[in-house]
Chains A and B, each alone.
Chain A
Amino acid sequence: MIFSRWHWTKIMAAAYQTGSSSSPTNLLQTLVTWLGVQGWTLDLSGADGTGWRAHLHKGGVYVNLRAAMNENIWPRDATYYHDYGAGGYGIGVYLGTGYTGGLDWHEQPGAPIRIDDSTTIGGGMNLPASGGDYHLFDDGNDNITVVVERSPGIFCHMGWGPAMGAAGQPEDFWYFFASSSQYMNTVISYPADRYGLNLSALPPASHGDKDYGSYGTGSQYVHTNGMVRVDTATFSGRWVGNGNYANKGYGYSGRFMRCSLNLHPNTQGTCDEDQFPGYQYILDRNHQTAFAGALLLPLHCYVKTDPDARWAPIGYLPTVFWCEAVGHGYSANEVYQVGGQDYMLFPHFAVLKGA
C-alpha cells in the first residue's frame, strides 16, 4: 500500500510505451522520439563515437543521454575514463541546466561535478549490445522512468524529473537516477554478481551500486547512481549524491545524500541507516504473506546538513517505490492496482503507470 496521505502528488495524463530495442543506440533513439511526444524539446540527437548522444529539455531541466556501443562514454581527461573497463554497452544519463552545442556530451552546463577534479558525475544503464525490452513511463508531470529487461528476468533502470516528492523543499529539487554508476555504466567483465548487470537492479537512489571488492580501499563503498539538485543555500554545489565515500572516484560531489533504503547485502549498515527514517530492519518485511501483496514504500532521500551534520529530508522519488511484490505472488511486468492507480512491478521496485 502507498502512504496516500503523506506521499502523493497530483497526477496528470500519464504516458507509457513498451517495446523491444535492438541496441543501446536504438533504445536511445526510441526514447528520444517518445520524449518528443511528451513535450520535450530536442537540442541534439546524433551519432557520437560509435554510439549516439541526445540532449533534450523541458522547462529548465536539461537531460543529457549517451548510448555506448562498445566504448567508454565518461572521459575524465584525455586518457582515462570514469567507466571501468575497456568499453562496453549502455546508456549514460545526467541532468544539467543548459545545452551548449560545442561541448561534448559529458560537459554540458550545470552538470553534477566531482569534488577535486570537477568532471561530470552521472549514472547509467549497463546494457547488452542487443539492447532489451523496454518500458518508458511519464507520470504526466515530466517524471521519466526507463526500465529495461536487459536479459530474461534481469532489469535495469534510469530516470529523472523536475521535482522530488514534497518534503518542504524551498524550491523544486531535480533528480536523476540509474541502476549503475558511471563507473559501472559500460563494463562488460566484472568479478562478482552485480546488481543491474547480471542481477536485477536495486531500487533507484537506494545505494545499490557497490564498489568492487578488489578496487579502492574497501569493499563497502557505494558508487553514486542517484543525485538530487538542492538549493544553493543548502549546498553551493547543488548536486548531492548517494555514494557513501567522500572520494571523487565514487562520484562524491562534496555533500552526501542518503536514501531510506539500502538493500545491498554487502553495504548494509554503512550508509548511516539509523540516523533518519529508513527501512533497515524491515528489508525482508516488505511483502505480505497473510494475503498476496506488497507495500509500495517511498524512497525518501536526505541531505547531510552543514554544519550540524544531520540529515534533512529532501523528498522522495515521486513515481518509483520500493516494492517486493515480484516473487511474492506477483510477476515482473505485472500491473498492481492500488488506490485507483496502476503500478508496474519489477524486481525490488514498482513504477507508477497511471490510472
Chain B
Amino acid sequence: MFEVGTATDYTDLLDRLDTFLTAKGSAFGLGYVGTGNGTFTDYSGGASSVAETFTITATSPTSFDVIGSISGSIGPATVGTPFAHAKIEFLISAGGTPFVAGDEFILSTAPKWISRRKTLGARVLATQGNSGSTAAQNLVDGKTALSAQGWQIASPITIPQDVEFEFFEAETITSYQMAAFSSSYSYMPKSWTFQYWDGDSWETLDTVTDYLLWTPSGVVTFAIGSPVSATKYRLHITAIPSTSTLIIGAVRLLRSDGIDAAFSQTIWQAPGNDGDSEILCGTHAFERQDADYFNWEVAAFDGYDAGASWRAQAGFHGLLYLPLWDDSIPYWFIVNGRRAIVIAKIDIQYEVIYLGLLDPYYSPDQYPYPIALGGTLAFGLTIPNWDSTSWRWNNATVQHRAFTHADPGGASPLYPQHLQMRARLWDGSWLGFEATVNDIITATPAATRGLIWPYRCGLSLLDPNLDDGYSLWPIMLNAGTPNTLGQLCGVACTSGQGVTAETLITIDAIDWLVLPNINRTDRDDFFAVALD
C-alpha cells in the first residue's frame, strides 16, 4: 500500500510514517485479470489484517465478492463505494469499459507493523552556545555517542544559563541524566533546577545545589518526584564551578519506560508478508538549526531490547542518513509486510530510504534475515563535524546519492558505512554495494566489492522499449564473494531517456514512480518505485 501527502517538516514526516506503518496492516501485490478497465485504488490493510490473499471477483458490473484465503468471504464490495473492513480496505471505481462477472483483482495483506519504540525528540536552545561544533543541540540527539562534541561555552558565561528542551510532542519525564566527558568533568554545572513549562511559567521539578560529584565520563541520574506531561523542559543553571568554561557531555530525559525522550528514535518490527517474522528497523531524527540540517539516520537491528538504547540494540547497523529540512515535505510512503520505502521531496530533489528485507535468492533456511538498508547520505565511519554543511540536503558530492546509485568515492579502506546501499549477510556482517565510483562505472570493480546490478555495469545509452513503454530491470545486490543476495523489493532500474521525475510507468495493475538519483538527470540516473 502507499500514501502520498505533504508533511509540515522532517519530524512530522516521521510521525506520519509511524502512523502509516502501525495503524493498519499492509496490502500489496495488486494484480488484475478481466475485461473492465476501472481502477482499484486506496488499498490498505485494516486494523486486524493477517497474512492472506484476497480474491476480489466481479459478480456484476457494480459488485464484487471479497474472499480472503484466511478470513473467507467479507464482501460484497460495491463499485464506487469505499470498502472498509478490519482486514482490508480499497476502492473500486468504474472505468469506460464496465466490469463483467469474473473480472478479478488479487491483493495480499499482512499485519500492521509494531512500534517497539517511538520518540520524536527535542529541539534544544541554550542561553549561549547554539552554534558551532559544540552547540547545545549536541546534548540530546546522540551526537556525543559518535564524537565528544557535547555542549561547551566559554567566558563570559551568563548566569543563570538556561538549556531549554522543546519536545515535538508532550512527554512525561520521570528522571534525567547528565553525562560528563572524561577530560572536562570539572566544568559541569554546580547548581541548577530542572523545570517544565506549564503554559504560563516555568515550574520546578527538581533542585540540585552544590553538586560536586562529577567524575570522568560519569553519568548521573536525577529522579523527579512528581512527573508531569509537558512539551518544554529546561535546565536552569544557577552556579558553575568555573567562570571560564561550562561543558556538559549529554543530557537524557527519561520516561518511565527508561527511554530517552529527548533522543528522537523509532524502532519498528515488521511482520513479514507471512505475518510471523520479526524484521527490525528504525530511524533517529536529528538536527542542527545553526547548520540548517534536519536529517534522519536509519538503522536495522537483529533483535529488540527494551532496556537498551537505540544504538545499543543487538545487531545495530546505522550511520546511514536521509537529509531533509525543516519545511514542508511532499512524500510517498510504500509499505508491505517486509519493507518500507520513504520518498521525500526536498526542493527539486528526491531523498529515498529502503528499510527491510530484500527479495532473496536463497531459501529462508539459508538466509533467514536478508535485511537491507538504503539511504541517500553516507560518510563512512568518520562523520563530519556536527556543524558541517556536509550534512545538508544540498550536499552535492558522491556522499549524497540514491541508494540505487550508491557510490563510495575514493574511500580507502572501504567500509559498508561509505555506501548508501547495504545489506546484512548470512553471517550477520554487513556489506556495502556500489553502483559507481566517483560517478563513473568504467573501472573494473575489485573482486571484493559489492555491486548493484545493473547500474554498476552501465546503461548509458539505454532507450525505452520500441512501443515507447519502459522496461524495468530488477536491482540485484551482488556480493564479491561472489554471492548475489537478491533484489530490492519494489524498486527497479529503468532508462532515463524520455522520463522526468515523477513520471509514472504502468506495468499491469501497478504504477511505478520514476525518480532521479537525488537531482541527477543523466540517462542512467533514474530508477522506479512500485506504488503498491
A in complex with B: yes
**A-side interface residues toward B, CB under 8 Å?**
1, 3, 5-6, 167-170, 230-231, 233-234, 272-282, 284-291, 293, 295, 302-303, 305, 308-314
The answer to whether A308 and B441 touch across the interface, beta carbons within 8 angstroms, is no
Q: Which residue of A lies closest to B465 (CB)?
A: A168
B202 contacts chain A at the CB level, 8 A cutoff: no
Min CB distance A219 to B, Å, is 21
A5 CA / B476 CA spacing, docked (Å): 13
Q: Which residues of chain B come closer than 8 Å to A275, judged between CB atoms? A: 458-462
The answer to whether A289 and B462 touch across the interface, beta carbons within 8 angstroms, is no
A169 CA / B466 CA spacing, docked (Å): 6
Known: A5-B474, A278-B457. A288 touches B462 (CB 8 A): no
Q: Which residues of chain A come closer than 8 Å to B497, judged between CB atoms? A: 310
19 extra interface residue pairs, beta carbon distance < 8 Å, beyond A3-B474, A274-B442, A313-B465: A1-B486, A3-B487, A6-B492, A167-B471, A168-B466, A168-B468, A272-B461, A276-B461, A276-B462, A281-B451, A282-B451, A284-B447, A291-B363, A295-B361, A295-B484, A303-B466, A310-B463, A312-B465, A313-B471
The answer to whether A278 and B454 touch across the interface, beta carbons within 8 angstroms, is yes
B415-447, CB < 8 A from A = 426, 441-442, 444-445, 447
Q: Which residue of A lies closest to B507 (CB)?
A: A6
A153 CA / B206 CA spacing, docked (Å): 83
User: Among the listed B366, B471, B473, which residue makes an inter-chain contact with A290, where contact means beta carbons less than 8 Å apart?
Assistant: B366
A278 CA / B487 CA spacing, docked (Å): 16
B200 contacts chain A at the CB level, 8 A cutoff: no
The answer to whether B462 and A285 touch across the interface, beta carbons within 8 angstroms, is no
User: Among the listed B366, B467, B473, which residue makes an inter-chain contact with A169, where contact means beta carbons less than 8 Å apart?
Assistant: B467
B32-58, CB under 8 A of A: which get 1 and which 0?
000000000000000000000000000
Q: Which residue of A lies closest to B362 (CB)?
A: A291
User: Among the listed A3, A168, A273, A285, which residue makes an inter-chain contact with B480, where contact means beta carbons less than 8 Å apart?
Assistant: A285
User: Among the listed A1, A231, A272, which residue makes an inter-chain contact with B466, where contact means beta carbons less than 8 Å apart?
Assistant: A231
The answer to whether A309 and B461 touch across the interface, beta carbons within 8 angstroms, is yes
A274 CA / B493 CA spacing, docked (Å): 15
A-B contact pairs, 8 of them (CB 8 A): A6-B472, A167-B471, A275-B461, A276-B458, A277-B453, A277-B454, A282-B482, A312-B463
The answer to whether A276 and B459 touch across the interface, beta carbons within 8 angstroms, is yes
Known: A274-B441, A282-B451. A311 touches B458 (CB 8 A): no
The answer to whether B474 and A281 touch across the interface, beta carbons within 8 angstroms, is no
B368 contacts chain A at the CB level, 8 A cutoff: no
B226 contacts chain A at the CB level, 8 A cutoff: no
B470 contacts chain A at the CB level, 8 A cutoff: yes
User: Among the listed A286, A288, A312, which residue makes an inter-chain contact with B464, where contact means beta carbons less than 8 Å apart?
Assistant: A312
Q: Which residues of chain A come closer than 8 Å to B366, judged between CB atoms? A: 290-291
Min CB distance B201 to A, Å, is 61
A1 CA / B361 CA spacing, docked (Å): 6
Query: 7 nearest interchain CB pairs?
Result: A168-B465, A274-B458, A285-B482, A277-B454, A275-B461, A1-B361, A168-B469
Min CB distance B282 to A, Å, is 27
Min CB distance B12 to A, Å, is 34
The answer to whether A168 and B459 touch across the interface, beta carbons within 8 angstroms, is no
The DSSP consensus for interface residues of chain A is loop
Min CB distance B514 to A, Å, is 15
Q: Which residues of chain B come closer than 8 Å to A285, judged between CB atoms? A: 451, 478-480, 482-484
Known: A169-B467, A288-B483. A280 touches B361 (CB 8 A): no
B456 contacts chain A at the CB level, 8 A cutoff: yes
Q: Which residue of A lies closest to B494 (CB)?
A: A277
The answer to whether B456 and A230 touch across the interface, beta carbons within 8 angstroms, is no
Min CB distance A244 to B, Å, is 15
B97 contacts chain A at the CB level, 8 A cutoff: no
The answer to whether B362 and A278 touch across the interface, beta carbons within 8 angstroms, is no
B481 contacts chain A at the CB level, 8 A cutoff: yes
The answer to whether A274 and B464 touch across the interface, beta carbons within 8 angstroms, is no
Min CB distance A267 to B, Å, is 16
The answer to whether A289 and B459 touch across the interface, beta carbons within 8 angstroms, is no
User: Among the listed B442, B453, B470, which residue makes an inter-chain contact with A282, where contact means beta carbons less than 8 Å apart?
Assistant: B453
User: Among the listed A168, A274, A278, A288, which residue makes an inter-chain contact with B484, where contact means beta carbons less than 8 Å apart?
Assistant: A288
B314-353, CB < 8 A from A = none
The answer to whether A281 and B456 touch across the interface, beta carbons within 8 angstroms, is yes
A315 CA / B180 CA spacing, docked (Å): 64
A286 CA / B464 CA spacing, docked (Å): 27
The answer to whether A284 and B482 touch across the interface, beta carbons within 8 angstroms, is yes
The answer to whether B483 and A290 touch across the interface, beta carbons within 8 angstroms, is yes
The answer to whether B462 and A277 touch across the interface, beta carbons within 8 angstroms, is yes
Min CB distance B14 to A, Å, is 31
The answer to whether B467 and A170 touch across the interface, beta carbons within 8 angstroms, is yes
The answer to whether B470 and A308 touch across the interface, beta carbons within 8 angstroms, is no
Q: Which residues of chain B come closer than 8 Å to A287, judged between CB atoms? A: 482
A89 CA / B133 CA spacing, docked (Å): 79
The answer to whether B466 and A170 touch across the interface, beta carbons within 8 angstroms, is yes
Q: Which residue of A lies closest to B482 (CB)?
A: A285
Q: Which residues of chain A come closer than 8 Å to B458, judged between CB atoms? A: 273-276, 278, 280
A88 CA / B378 CA spacing, docked (Å): 61
Q: Which residues of chain A come closer than 8 Å to B362, judged between CB atoms? A: 288, 290-291, 293
Q: Which residues of chain A come closer than 8 Å to B451, judged between CB atoms? A: 281-282, 285
User: Among the listed A274, A281, A311, which residue makes an inter-chain contact with B463, where contact means beta carbons less than 8 Å apart?
Assistant: A311
Residue of A273, A278, A308, A310 most packed against chain B (CB within 10 A): A310
Q: Which residues of chain B come closer than 8 Å to A288, judged between CB atoms? A: 361-362, 482-484
Min CB distance B507 to A, Å, is 9
Q: Which residues of chain B come closer than 8 Å to A5, judged between CB atoms? A: 474
The answer to whether A289 and B481 touch across the interface, beta carbons within 8 angstroms, is yes
Known: A273-B457, A287-B482, A288-B483. A6 touches B474 (CB 8 A): yes
Q: Which residues of chain A come closer than 8 Å to B473, judged between CB atoms? A: 6, 277
Q: Which residues of chain B come closer than 8 Å to A282, judged between CB atoms? A: 451, 453, 457, 478, 482, 484
A316 CA / B22 CA spacing, docked (Å): 41
Q: Which residues of chain B come closer than 8 Å to A168, judged between CB atoms? A: 464-471
Q: Which residues of chain B come closer than 8 Å to A279, judged between CB atoms? A: 453, 457
Min CB distance B305 to A, Å, is 28
A168 CA / B465 CA spacing, docked (Å): 5
Known: A6-B472, A274-B441, A313-B471. A281 touches B457 (CB 8 A): yes
User: Among the listed A1, A281, A303, which residue makes an inter-chain contact with B444, where contact means beta carbons less than 8 Å apart?
Assistant: A281
Q: Which residues of chain B come closer than 8 Å to A1, judged between CB atoms? A: 361, 486
User: Among the listed A169, A274, A308, which residue makes an inter-chain contact with B465, where contact means beta carbons less than 8 Å apart?
Assistant: A169
A312 CA / B494 CA spacing, docked (Å): 12
Q: Which residues of chain B come closer than 8 Å to A314, judged between CB atoms? A: 466
Min CB distance B515 to A, Å, is 18
Min CB distance A171 to B, Å, is 9
Q: Which residues of chain B come closer than 8 Å to A290, judged between CB atoms? A: 362, 366-367, 426, 481, 483
Q: Which residues of chain B come closer than 8 Å to A233, judged between CB atoms? A: 466
Min CB distance B369 to A, Å, is 14
Q: Which residues of chain B come closer than 8 Å to A230, judged between CB atoms? A: 466
Q: Which residues of chain B come closer than 8 Å to A309, judged between CB atoms? A: 461
Q: Which residues of chain B come closer than 8 Å to A276, judged between CB atoms? A: 458-459, 461-462
